[in-house]
Amino acid sequence: MILRSAVFALLGALLLSGCAAGVADRIAERQAVYDAYPAEVQERIARGQIRLGDDQDAVWMVYGDPSERFSRTDAKGKTETWVYKVLGFSDEVYPTVRPVYHDYYGRRFGTYYIDDTPRYAWQEVLRVEFTEGRVSAIQMME
């Protein structure tokens, strides 16, 4: 359980820190947009940080393409949500018993073993909501 938490925390930290080479590459890809930001915003993006009020380009430069995108329209207008996920351990119950040998006809024989290999699943670590193209909410997994 401790190992699971440590690996999940490490993966989340890597994603949320914006992996410096990834941020630099994405900034270079949208250099004109980056250059148009004030110096304070440029510095923050280069450090891998976003804030309320940032636009979608800034979030993309920091975190890249989201794993999922959702849009919602309600009485207040249209919102778009970007969800970022990392591959981490799932909560699947294990260990499970698995057969070791099968004969030609598919019948099981021989011994069985306990399979205690951890299972992996995509887990949400960050959700960014945009209203009118600007960050209106940031939800991070702890």
On the 0-12 / 13-18 / 19+ scale of CB atoms within 10 A, 116 is: exposed
* % of the chain with per-residue pLDDT over 70: 63
pTM given for the model? 0.67
DSSP at 55? B
What value does the mean pLDDT of the chain take?
Answer: 79
2-to-7, 95, 96 alpha-carbon distances in Å: 9, 17, 20
Render pLDDT for 42-95 as a digit per residue (tens, 0 to 9). 999 999 999 999 999 999 999 999 999 999 998 888 999 999 998 877 666 555
On the 0-12 / 13-18 / 19+ scale of CB atoms within 10 A, 128 is: buried
Amino acid at site 89? F
The full set of domain ranges for the chain reads 2-140
Does an H or E element contain 45, and which? helix 39-46
On the 0-12 / 13-18 / 19+ scale of CB atoms within 10 A, 125 is: buried
